[in-house]
Structure 1
Amino acid sequence: MSPLIQDIVLLTVPTGMAAGAGAAAVHYRRRAVERLGSIRQLETRVRDCEKRVAARDEEAQHLAGHRLPALISALSRGVGGSHRDAGPLHPQLAETLTGAAYRAVLEQVSALASEASGRAEGAASAAVQAVVRSLQSLINEQQVAVTALQDLQSDEKTLAITIPIDHASSQLARRAQIVGILTGMWPGRRRPDTPLLETIRGGVSRIRDYPRVEITGEPTAYVAGRVVEPVVLAAAELLDNAARHSEPGTKVYVWYLEAHNGISIVIEDAGIGMAPEERERAARLLSGQDPVRITELRTPPRFGFQAIGQLAARYGFAVSVEQQSVHGGVRAVLHLPRALLAAAPAPAPAPAHASRSVPEPAAGHASDSLPTGHSYPVAEDGLPMRRRGQGSRLPAAAPATSLPQPGAGRGLAAFMRGTSSARTPSTDQEQTP
């Protein structure tokens, strides 16, 4: 019924009935308005609930698609703290039961992932250590056999065969030591206090391109025995890196810088250099602050800087490659503080019998066969004693050989002095002074 018809009806009825009908109409109209308000409130609440449900759905998708992957990625990089969590998509849900539940899920995943990563790292380290120990044992046996062969046969042909074998063994031993250091093994060699020059020569002897290394200066400092082997390994890795990243025909220069707080060994090459980001990464690795995880090494793995950083942090010296060399390559600096240097040992007194002269041999005496131009110690009975390895072992009728080039023996002498330290059996336990 239209409003016009309703008005007509109200005009035709008696006045009392019109008043009652008007009151009823007002009542029902008020009720309708109240119900309309309730409906609108319900509609608003439904829309709010739908928004909350949609926000929770989006938060669940954000958890699965972003927060969990970010957590796993951060754990794989070894990042801790707040960097592990990417945060909620809707901040208003952070303090709700939903936010608390999602945080609990992330914490459980983090704990499980850390536990699994720790087990994997422990198993990998144990396997690598077992392999390194077996390799070191075989390398030591090979070096002992090579040394025995050199003692028995020191002619040129034998040396030409055994010296490359010995050199390759020393490089293999160094690589095994470096890998072992990354798993927490100690270098395992206790040396006496050694001149710094001989220590660096020991590092030179353990790289492939040792003839390219040119050492300038003769420092008088001594390296404390407990850090001789770590310094040798660190210097060898730096020298090997300099040689491998520069042209084969170029030199690798080594010189020394005396400082108030110690002495620095400077290694320069004329190679391709390093980009700024590479220098930053190298500085972080050489600091030794980041833990090394075998299961997280790059492919192909790069052991050198990481092992040097672990040695530097463990023994107290510092290594940096933050500067560019004057030749455009890399300048590496290995700094030894005063605490790692030792005083030069006092000269040993000469033995009392050393001043005794060799008696003049009589005609036909057995000593006539001794080579001339050599001095020999004298035994208690007055007869000269031969030193092991002295004297010519070639037969008298051996054919003459061409003379070596001037200065050719210096490299061989340095190599032999350096490799003599590599023939000592090593263990994985650090020896204290």
Structure 2
Amino acid sequence: MTPLFSDPALWTGVVLGAGAVGLPLGRKVSTHRARSRALQSQVTTAESAAAASRQQLAEAGEAIGRLHEEAEYLASVHLPALVAALQHGLTDGDLPSEFLHPDVAASPTGQAFLVIRDHTRKLSIAASEHAEGSARVAVGAVTGSVMALVNELTHAITKLLNAEHDETLLARIQPIDHAASQLARRLQVVSALTDRWPGRQREDAPLLDVVRGAVSRVRDFPRVRVPHESPHYVAGRVVEPLVLALAELLDNACRQSAPTTPVEVSILEGYNGLTIQVHDAGPGMSPESLAMAKLRLSGEHPVRLTELRNPPSFGLLGVGALAARYGFRADVDEQQSIHGGVRAVLFVPRPLLAAPPVVPAPHQTVTATAPRHRAHTAAAAAAPLPPEDHGFDVAADGLPMRRRHAAVPPAGPARPVAEPPSLDAGAALAAFMNGTRSARALSDEESS
């Protein structure tokens, strides 16, 4: 077979022509491959960017969700708990955590939430103080006006009791007087909760008088047994507060025990003061009630009228307020009750006690005892007595007459001038002057 191109020169030309045509094609293929790789790199970069964007969007969505949850937690949980804690006197330790998600605290939104929380706290405190102040002013005004009327009522009842002598009428008036005293006690306790003086200022009084005064203000006073004697005295500034506090404890003991059981009062003297104990024979108290009673009697937390339950209970709160203000202490327990009920305790420190009054000596009671002999002296002066009975002449009008006496030499040595007279030297002169005044008064009455 004869080759198509037998001439070498012709083969060379063909090869050279084919090479000239294939070289540009190769270049184009390389260029397209490079562009394809660049496009693939761009696509990969775009996909990575898209994945990162999707991740960022997911994280942003989660962050927004946490902010939404945080806002809902702030509005529905934390702020109501904060307001309730401020109303009930709780501390921040009793509140739930400020943030549901702690990582939100450092964000601008978290800082804004903190600002909202602080503003809510300030507004709640201001509103609570305003409401408490208004309540105290209103309660103080009402109790003051009613107390004035009760004082007028008790004064009228006292005048009636002193003026009447009919036993039937007195028996009917006594329950009214007792009810008025109980009403006055309740008003005094409420006044004590509003930081007002509970009653009038008194002088130093025997401790037994304080106990008896408290018993007289209790409804079931016949059930109360008090000690027969006690040598102690109470300072005047705490007499009325102690009477009120003890009356509230006695009233509580009578109410919480059966009407047929006694309520016993005992007094125990210690090194640092006196303890007045009230024992009842009631069923006792539950642990929760006992803890609440101890808290109220402690007086550690200020009483807020706007936070009292409905119906309000003033008795133990009033005792705690009086104890905190005047320096004595009040408490309750069940272990030390002698009748198996509850023991209420009032501890009176030594600084609140007073010294017993000093009884004057017999030779110092001339002025005090002279009025008791005035009637006898007046009767003796009304009848004419012989001169030798009283040593001087009496005129027609009952006045003594002067007369001269011979000088009598002294029986013994004269008393030194520098020595003071004895304490009873004026007794005779005082009796003489009293008799003179009485005789003159009788003479004036007879002449009129």
What range describes the TM-score normalised by the shorter chain of this pair? 0.7 to 0.9
Work out which of the residue numbers 354, 361, 364 in structure 2 matches 1:342: 354
Q: How many residues align?
A: 358
- Aligned residue number for residue 193 of structure 2: 182
Q: Deviations over 1:17-76 (max 9, x none)?
A: 433332222221111111111111111111111011111111111111101111121122
- Aligned residue number for residue 326 of structure 2: 315
Task: Indicate the larger mover: 51-60 or 322-331.
Answer: 322-331
SS of 1:228 mapped into structure 2: helix
- 2:53 corresponds to 1:42: yes
- 2:113 corresponds to 1:102: yes
Superposed, 1:114-193 pairs within 5 Å as: 114-193=125-204
- Aligned residue number for residue 398 of structure 2: none
d(CA) in 1 for partners of 2:93, 2:187 = 38
Query: Normalising to structure 2: TM-score of the pair?
Result: 0.75
The residue type equivalent to 2:90 in the other structure is V
- Aligned residue number for residue 330 of structure 1: 342
The residue type equivalent to 2:82 in the other structure is L
Work out which of the residue numbers 267, 285, 295 in structure 2 matches 1:274: 285
Superposed, 1:224-235 pairs within 5 Å as: 224-235=235-246
Consecutive unaligned residues of structure 2, counting only runs of 5 or more, are: 1-21, 384-433, 441-448
- TM superposition shift of 1:217: 4.7
- Aligned residue number for residue 252 of structure 1: 263
- Aligned residue number for residue 199 of structure 1: 210
- 2:8 corresponds to 1:22: no
- TM superposition shift of 1:288: 0.7
The residue type equivalent to 1:51 in the other structure is E
Task: Indicate the larger mover: 258-267 or 210-219.
Answer: 210-219
d(CA) in 2 for partners of 1:330, 1:52 = 59
Task: Indicate the larger mover: 202-211 or 93-102.
Answer: 93-102
- Contact 1:76/1:296, CA 8 A, preserved across alignment: yes
d(CA) in 1 for partners of 2:349, 2:252 = 23
d(CA) in 2 for partners of 1:15, 1:143 = 127
Q: Deviations over 1:214-233 (max 9, x none)?
A: 11352211000000000000
- Aligned residue number for residue 53 of structure 1: 64
Q: Deviations over 1:377-400 (max 9, x none)?
A: x986389xxxxxxxxxxxxxxxxx
SS of 1:336 mapped into structure 2: strand
- Contact 1:66/1:86, CA 8 A, preserved across alignment: no
The residue type equivalent to 1:381 in the other structure is S
Q: Deviations over 1:401-425 (max 9, x none)?
A: xxxxxxxxxxxxxxxxxxxxxxxxx
- TM superposition shift of 1:16: 3.6
d(CA) in 2 for partners of 1:315, 1:360 = 51
- Contact 1:171/1:206, CA 8 A, preserved across alignment: yes
d(CA) in 1 for partners of 2:369, 2:306 = 61
- Aligned residue number for residue 399 of structure 1: none
- 2:370 corresponds to 1:353: yes
Consecutive unaligned residues of structure 1, counting only runs of 5 or more, are: 1-10, 366-377, 384-433
Q: Deviations over 1:314-365 (max 9, x none)?
A: 0000010033413221101100000000100012554242674948999xx9
Larger radius of gyration: 2
- Contact 1:75/1:84, CA 8 A, preserved across alignment: no
- 2:250 corresponds to 1:239: yes
- Contact 1:286/1:308, CA 8 A, preserved across alignment: yes
- Contact 2:232/2:355, CA 8 A, preserved across alignment: yes
- Contact 2:214/2:246, CA 8 A, preserved across alignment: yes
- TM superposition shift of 1:282: 1.2
- 2:128 corresponds to 1:71: no
SS of 2:438 mapped into structure 1: coil
SS of 2:283 mapped into structure 1: coil
- Aligned residue number for residue 417 of structure 1: none
The residue type equivalent to 1:338 in the other structure is R
d(CA) in 2 for partners of 1:198, 1:321 = 23
Work out which of the residue numbers 431, 434, 438 in structure 2 matches 1:381: 438
Q: Deviations over 1:248-272 (max 9, x none)?
A: 0110000111100001001000012
d(CA) in 2 for partners of 1:308, 1:237 = 7
Task: Provide the aligned C-alpha RMSD in A.
Answer: 2.4
SS of 1:264 mapped into structure 2: strand
- TM superposition shift of 1:146: 1.0
SS of 2:334 mapped into structure 1: strand
More helix by share: 2
- Quote the sequence identity (%): 44
Task: Indicate the larger mover: 209-218 or 38-47.
Answer: 209-218
Work out which of the residue numbers 292, 310, 314 in structure 2 matches 1:303: 314
- TM superposition shift of 1:104: 1.2
- TM superposition shift of 1:15: 4.0
